[in-house]
């Protein structure tokens, strides 16, 4: 165990030196360093790191609701719940950490907002310059569970000016004005606020001044791409006025709550490859 701010966290180091740090609060990935020592995650210098609020940065785990698309707390309660470390180890160059959360683990307010029994497993697998995050949701109840899920990943991009996302040309998306459009350009650049929901291909590429990351997903239905831009950033208490220039979020997501049958399991896989 290590301390990250005031949060207990677990750190793993792979054979080649790649490293990941995950807080029990939210099973929240706070840092991912590839074997070259380069930090790939952005965490705001203004975020709470004491469990009193969700963390602004890293990988917030979104469950069972995306944003305000449901009756519960914004982006769900998983990012504000304390998970259990249920596995760790490694072999053959891979290292992993596994966290679990079930209905009995919830704080009273979250439990009161959610009448469905469930069991979550989140597994981080590190090897070389690849991070995989497998997210399993098991409906342990006797009725359908309305399921939305996402990994709200904040990438450290150095500077927004040199950043783009490719692989989305011709994809349909909904923007923050709720217009549904088709992306014409080969790459998305960030000259203003972006909050887009893509019905999109299985992989996209994040290009920054000094890195290329290939992002793949299976089991999810959308990619959400978000940067708040200058005005929204100024209005956020847990983000510095200029910090929006340092990150973008690219999120594998199952945005709308869709029923997961009693006894059934859903698995979302996300693979991030840096080179
Ligand atoms: O994923 C994009 C988004 O849903 C945006 O609409 C924006 O509000 C953001 O997430 C951050 O939400 P948060 O609750 O973490 O402030």
Ligand 1 mean position to 67 CA, how many Å? 6
Q: How far is CA 112 from CA 54, 117, 147, 148, 273, in A?
A: 19, 12, 17, 18, 39
Asked whether the beta carbons of 81 and 94 are under 8 A apart, the reply is no
Give the pLDDT band of residue 93 (cuts 50, 70, 90): confident
**What pLDDT does residue 220 have?**
98
Residue carrying structure tokens 């207990």? 8
Q: For the stretch 189-202, what's the b/e string if a residue is b when 16 or more beta carbons lie within 10 angstroms of its beta carbon?
A: ebeebbbbbbebee
Closest atom, ligand 1, to C-alpha of 249: 1
Peptide bond preceding 182: is omega within 30 degrees of 0, i.e. cis? no
**pLDDT (0 to 100) of residue 92:** 82
Pull the structure tokens for residue 62.
Answer: 């979104």
Considering the candidates 80, 243, 251, 270, report the single residue annotated as catalytic. 251
**Contact call for residues 219 and 266 (beta carbons, < 8 A):** yes
Ligand 1: nearest atom to the Cα of 54: 15
Known catalytic membership, residue 152: yes
Query: Chain centroid to CA 272: how far?
Result: 12
193 close to ligand 1 (CB < 6 Angstrom): no
The token pair that represents 211 in the structure block: 């890195």
Instruction: Write the residue with the smallest CA distance to atom 2 of ligand 1.
Output: 226
pLDDT single digits (tens) 229-240: 999 999 999 999
- Per-residue model confidence (pLDDT) at position 275: 77
Six token digits for residue 172: 């349909």
**Predicted pLDDT of residue 266:** 98
Rounded Cα distance between 87 and 260, Å, is 25
pTM above the 0.95 mark? yes
Whole-angstrom distance, CA of residue 104 vs CA of residue 119: 9
Give the pLDDT score at 274. 96
226 lines ligand 1 (CB under 6 A): yes
**What separation in Å is there between the alpha carbon of 156 and the centre of ligand 1?**
17
Choice from 80, 220, 226 to test ligand 1 binding pocket (greatest atom count within 8 A of CB): 226
Residue 266 dihedral angles phi and psi, to the nearest 5°: -120, 140
Q: What mean pLDDT comes out for the span 254-269?
A: 98
Give the confidence band of 201 by pLDDT, cuts at 50, 70, 90. confident
Ligand 1 center to 195 CA (angstroms): 8
Average pLDDT score over residue span 183-211: 95
User: To 10 degrees, the CA torsion angle through 197, 201, 206, 211?
Assistant: 160
Whether residue 195 has its Cβ less than 6 Å from ligand 1: yes
Residue 200: which pLDDT band, with cuts at 50, 70 and 90? confident
Please state the atom number of ligand 1 nearest to the C-alpha of residue 251: 1
Q: Which atom of ligand 1 is nearest to the CA of 253?
A: 1
User: What is the enclosing helix (H) or strand (E) of 234?
Assistant: helix 229-234
Dmax over Cα atoms in the chain, in whole Å?
50
Ligand 1 in reach of 222 Cβ (< 6 A): no
Q: Where are the alpha helices (DSSP H) in 107-224?
A: 108-112
The mean per-residue pLDDT over the stretch 176-200 comes to: 95
* Stretch 69-98: mean pLDDT: 95
User: Is any atom of ligand 1 closer than 6 Å to the C-beta of 67?
Assistant: yes
pLDDT in tens, 47-79: 999 999 999 999 999 999 999 999 999 999 999
Tens of pLDDT, residues 103-112: 999 999 999 9
How many whole angstroms from its chain centre is CA 83?
A: 16
**Percentage above 70 pLDDT, the chain:** 100
Question: Rounded mean pLDDT of the chain?
Answer: 96
270 lines ligand 1 (CB under 6 A): no
Q: Which of 28, 75, 152, 270 is catalytic?
A: 152
């Amino acid at each position: 165990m290590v301390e990250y701010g005031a949060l207990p966290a677990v750190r793993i180091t792979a054979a080649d030196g790649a490293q990941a740090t995950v807080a029990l609060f939210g099973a929240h990935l706070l840092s991912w360093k590839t074997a070259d020592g380069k930090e790939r995650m952005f965490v705001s210098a203004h975020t709470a790191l004491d469990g009193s609020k969700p963390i602004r940065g890293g990988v917030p785990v979104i469950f069972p609701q995306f944003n305000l698309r449901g009756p519960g707390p914004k982006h769900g309660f998983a990012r504000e719940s304390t998970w259990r470390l249920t596995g760790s180890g490694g072999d053959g160059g891979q290292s992993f950490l596994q966290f679990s959360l079930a209905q009995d683990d919830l704080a009273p307010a979250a439990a009161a907002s959610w009448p469905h029994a469930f069991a979550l497993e989140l597994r981080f697998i590190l090897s070389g310059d690849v991070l995989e995050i497998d997210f399993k949701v098991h409906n342990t109840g006797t009725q359908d569970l309305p399921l939305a899920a996402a990994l709200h990943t904040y990438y450290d991009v150095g500077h927004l000016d040199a950043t783009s996302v490719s692989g989305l040309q011709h994809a349909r998306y909904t923007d923050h004005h709720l217009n549904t459009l088709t992306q014409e350009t080969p790459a998305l650049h960030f000259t203003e606020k972006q909050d887009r929901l893509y019905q999109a291909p299985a992989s996209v590429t994040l290009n920054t001044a000094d890195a290329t990351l290939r992002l793949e997903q299976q089991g999810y239905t959308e990619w959400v791409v978000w940067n708040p831009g200058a005005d929204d950033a100024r209005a956020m208490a847990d983000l510095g006025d200029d910090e929006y220039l340092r990150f973008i979020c690219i999120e594998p997501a199952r945005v709308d709550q869709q029923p997961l049958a009693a006894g059934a399991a859903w698995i979302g896989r996300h693979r991030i490859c840096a080179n």
